[in-house]
Amino acid sequence: MSAESTHVAMTLSDHLPILQILVPLVSAPLIVLIGSRRLTWSLAFIASVLSFGIAILLLMQVIDGSIISYQIGGWAPPLGIEYRVDATNAFVLLLVTGISTLVLPYARESVKSEIPAKHHTLFYAAFMLCLTGLLGVTITGDAFNVFVFLEISSLSTYVLIAQGSYRDKRALTAAYDYLIMGTIGATFFVIGLGMLYMATGTLNMADLADRIADQGSNRTVRAAFAFIVVGMGLKIAIYPLHLWLPRAYTFAPSAVTVFLAATATKVAIYVLLRFTFSVFQPSFMFEVNTLEFIILPFAILAMFAASFIAIFQNDFKRMLAYSSIAQIGYMLLGISLLTETGLTAAIAHLFNHGITKATLFMGVGILALRSGGSFYNRIQGMGKSMPWTSAAIVIGGLSLIGVPGTAGFISKWVLVEATIEKGWWPLSVLIVLSSLLAVIYVWRVIEVLYLKTPLAGTDYREAPFSMLIPMWIMALACIYFGLATDVTLTASRAAAQGLLAGSAGMM
Amino acid sequence: MGFELTQEYILGHLNYWLFSVLMMTGLYIVVAKGNLVKKIVGLNIFQTSVFMLYISMGKVTDGTAPIFPLDMDVDPDVIYSNPLPHVLILTAIVVGVATTALGLALIVRIQEEFNTIEEDDILKIERAIVQTENAIHGDAMGGRA
């Protein structure tokens, strides 16, 4: 009897990689089929907690540098689809499931106030599908599978953004614009994959890496690289391809914005990392040129242009959306340096910016819950009536600037270190200058919250605990990861080394 | 000689020419047309071009349909086309259908809320909303929404 139960337990732990996807995937139709408004949220939350647990177990298995390869349906790679977990994507899986587990308790109140009750079941189903897609993109080792999961997450994202239409009808056009641009991006990505398949005859990432390394660069491979970078660029919102982002983030329901800002663009950056470093070799001249002469200037442009636009916003939520574009610039800058330190900075910033922006967007959602909007003159003086919410926003804001002692400082510090190491000190100056722009736009929020007199006749209650607690967990994480720098930096450095080792790191 | 080569070049790459033309046609429609439904049509043409690229790449010269005989007695001399790209594109077609459905559903909602599906009119309505917002929220802060 006991032997049998250990056998079952072993089988289950062997199947963790597929369970990571199956749990949220199955929960989505289950939510719709059960259709009970009372159970909906609990089902989604349980599924999210389970996948968070699975992500922790997976990370524990691969933290020593080993790799889990899971064959779907027992079909051996490279012909069958393979799920491949290593330190890098286990880290991303943990980030995504962790954020979703924190966002769901927060979402409960927020969604109640923003979306009519009859749509709640479908909302949470779409949310779980979005989570499934993001996890699938991260865990899979098959290039075409990336596309399929990317579309699962994108389609549900469009639905989630459109749910903002009950507050502002512009959410519909925002979702439509994102649908058009997102589909063009995903289709570009598929064209790239098709060209890779033509050149190599395989779709397994590790196998692709080997065959591309063998045959070297040729025009098909170069064209494939260009299509994949532009396609993912649309999803990441690399500077000139960012047009969908501010509108989508501004008009989406608060909980959706928190989730997307902290995970969706981060997962897209992970895919870009996988393709530039694992599938293609960083030693290819065309790749070095692309990163140095195209991505790098656009990253710097994003850091300044988006920050400038953020300063002149008078809507807190929209300001944060523009700031996200600027912060994505820092990550791309780190990647385009093509050094270990640069990559470490990019991956650390990916994580740190995820928790920072989650804190801030949660804050916006809470302010909007009480005041009915996030315009500066709607929320002015709320620092007095809602001290806890405002304090967490200040912590998030400091982390966004990169004040020492917060998470944002660490990754920016490593980024500056990376530019100096490479001898490109003007870039270090630019990083500091653009951080000063962040000081301005964050100061405007602090000024509005604390120094302006509250609107007459408003005495807002502090937010419900179900929203405050997730927000403060995020805010404390911003401080914790700013003080305990070893945790993020060690993990990021391990991931960077794994990526730079190229296909060797994948095999 | 040169002509021969050119003709061979053009005919030999026929699928790629068609792919490029369709792809650019689709993209152009998405960018140039103001009607939201027409944009979806353009998007569909754009996606279809990729289906064609994949399907044509699976064709092997003189290859037949990749179906094995029932008794699995495969003649080693028979050349089969590559079925994998076709299978991949089945998935992509499903994704395309889902995207179209969602896009059209969004258009229905936009029609309900904005009473138009012309991009220019929608922009006008949205600009009016922004101006009202600026009047309420912007002037106090000296910024723009």
Q: Considering its fold, how many domains does chain A have in total?
A: 1
Q: Do A187 and B53 touch (CB under 8 A)?
A: no
Q: Is A331 on the interface with B (CB under 8 A)?
A: no
Selecting from B50, B107, B109 the residue whose C-beta is nearest the C-beta of A190 gives: B50
* Domain layout of chain B by residue ranges: 2-65+77-114, 117-145
pLDDT at A40 over 50: yes
Residue A259's pLDDT is what?
A: 95
A362 pLDDT higher than 90: yes
The answer to the question of residue A371 being in a domain is: yes
Asked if B103 and A378 come within 8 Å (Cβ–Cβ), the reply is no
Distance, in Å, from the CA atom of A470 to the CA atom of A164, rounded to the nearest integer, reads 22
Q: Quote the tokens at residue B125.
A: 């309505």
Our measurement of the distance from residue A481's CA atom to the centroid of its chain's CA atoms, rounded to an integer in Å, reads: 17
Q: For residues A132 and A42, give the distance between their C-alpha atoms in angstroms, rounded to a whole number.
A: 17
User: Taking residues A450-455, what's their average pLDDT?
Assistant: 84
Which of A144, A176, A184 is opposite residue B36, by nearest beta carbon?
A176
Query: Could you tell me which residue, A375 or A283, shows the higher pLDDT?
Result: A375
Tokens in use for A349?
């910033």
Tell me which H or E stretch contains A70: strand A68-71
CA distance B116 to A306: 32
Residue A67: what pLDDT?
85
Residue matched to tokens 């391809």: A241
A159 CB within 8 Å of a chain B CB: yes
Per DSSP, the three-state class of A238 is coil
Across the interface, whether the CB atoms of B103 and A197 are under 8 A apart is answered no
Q: What is the mean pLDDT of residues B27-42?
A: 94
Q: Quote the DSSP letter at residue A480.
A: H
State the residue range of the domain holding A317: 292-499
A223 touching B (Cβ < 8 Å): no
> Phi, psi (5° rounding) for residue A170?
-65, -15
Considering only residues A236 and A461, tell me which one the structure prediction assigns the higher pLDDT: A236
In this predicted structure, the answer to whether residue A335 has a pLDDT above a threshold of 70 is: yes
Q: Which residue has the higher pLDDT, B133 or B51?
A: B51
| Residues of B with Cβ-Cβ distance to A191 under 8 angstroms | 23, 50, 53
C-alpha of B6 from chain center: 30
Peptide bond connecting B85 to the previous residue in cis, omega within 30 degrees of 0: no
Cβ contact B122–A318 (<8 Å): no
**Complex ipTM above 0.95?**
no
Closest CA to A56 of A96, A14, A12, A94: A94
CB contact under 8 A, A144 and B91: yes
**Inside any domain, residue A424:** yes
pTM: 0.92
DSSP letters spanning B13-28:
THHHHHHHHHHHHHHH
pLDDT one-digit tens code per residue, A11-28: 678 889 999 999 999 999
CA–CA dist A379, A450 (Å, integer) = 10
Instruction: Return the pLDDT at A505.
Output: 41
Asked whether residue B15 carries a pLDDT value surpassing 90, the answer given is no
Determine contact: B51 vs chain A, CB below 8 A. no
Assign A45 a pLDDT band (cuts: 50, 70, 90): very high
Cβ-defined contact of A315 to B145 (cutoff 8 Å): yes
Q: Is residue A310 part of a domain?
A: yes
Cα A152 to Cα B95: distance, rounded to the nearest angstrom: 8
Whether residue A482 lies inside any domain: the answer is yes
**Rounded distance between C-alpha atoms, residue A476 and residue A364, angstroms:** 17
Residue B79 confidence (pLDDT) above 80: yes
Question: How many CB atoms within 10 Å of residue A485?
Answer: 16
CA–CA distance from A41 to each of A33, A108, A276, A342, A361 (Å)? Answer: 14, 7, 39, 40, 21
Chain A: residue nearest B92 by CA?
A: A148
Is the pLDDT assigned to residue A161 strictly greater than 80?
yes
- Put simply, the answer to whether B141 touches A172 (Cβ < 8 Å) is no
Q: What is the mean pLDDT of residues A62-88?
A: 84
Average pLDDT over residues A336-346: 90
Domain B2-65+77-114 has CATH 1.10.287: yes
Name every residue whose Cβ is closer than 8 Å to that of residue A138 and which is 6 or more positions away in sequence: A89, A92, A93, A96, A267, A270
pLDDT at A6 over 50: no
Query: What b-and-e string marks burial along A451-469, b requiring 16 or more CB atoms within 10 Å of the CB?
Result: ebeeeeeeebeebeeebbe
Using a pLDDT cut of 90, give the percent of chain A over it: 62
Residue B128: CB partners within 8 Å, gap ≥ 6? Answer: none
Q: Does A142 touch chain B (CB under 8 A)?
A: no
Nearest to A180 by CA among B29, B68, B64: B29
Nearest by CB to residue A312, choosing from B54, B109, B144, is B144
Read off the pLDDT of residues B110-127 as tens digits, 9 standing for 90 and up. Answer: 999 999 999 999 999 999
Q: Are A263 and A307 in contact (CB under 8 A)?
A: no
Whether residue A504 has pLDDT greater than 50: no
Share of chain B residues as helix, strand and coil, in percent rounded to the nearest 5: 75, 5, 25
What residues does B144 pair with on adjacent strands? A313
Q: What is the CA radius of gyration of chain B?
A: 24
Pairwise CB contact (< 8 Å): A183 & B47: yes
* Cβ–Cβ under 8 Å, residues B29 and B39: yes
pLDDT at A477: 93
Lowest mean pLDDT among A76-80, A184-188, B54-58: A76-80
Name the residue type at position A471: M
Q: Do A179 and B106 touch (CB under 8 A)?
A: yes
Mean pLDDT of A206-224: 87
Which residues from A are below 8 Å from B136, CB to CB? 375, 377
Distance CA(A257)–CA(A249), nearest Å, equals 5
With a cut of 70, say whether residue A503 has pLDDT above it: no
> What pLDDT is recorded for position B4?
59
**Mean pLDDT in residue range A462-470:** 89
State residue B139's pLDDT score. 54
Write the pLDDT tens digit of every residue in A378-410: 888 888 888 999 999 999 999 999 999 999 999
Mean pLDDT of A436-459: 87
Using an 8 Å CB-CB cutoff, list chain B residues near A375. Answer: 133, 136-137, 145
pLDDT, residue A96, reads 94
B29 near A CB under 8 A:
no
Question: ∠ at Cα A429 (A426, A432), nearest 5°?
Answer: 155
Kindly tell me if the per-residue pLDDT of A476 is higher than 90. Answer: yes
- For the segment A457-467, the average pLDDT, to the nearest whole number, is 81
The pLDDT of B4-29, averaged and rounded, is: 86
E strands present in A357-439: none
Residue A26: HSE in the Cβ half-sphere, 13 Å Cα cutoff: 10
Q: What's the pLDDT at B144?
A: 45
The predicted model gives A365-388 an average pLDDT of 87
Supply the angle between the helices A265-273 and A143-162 in degrees, to the nearest 10. 160
Whole-angstrom Cα distance, residue A238 to residue A135?
A: 22
Within-domain flag for A261: no
Contact A176 B57 (CB under 8 A): no
Structure confidence at residue A485 (pLDDT)? 83
Question: Mean pLDDT over residues A300-321, rounded?
Answer: 92
pLDDT at B65 over 70: yes
pLDDT of residue A62: 85
B109 contacts in A (CB within 8 Å)?
A: 162, 165, 172
Query: Which of A81-85, A145-149, A168-172, A368-372 is predicted least confidently?
Result: A368-372
Per-residue pLDDT at A486: 84
Q: What is the mean pLDDT of chain A?
A: 89
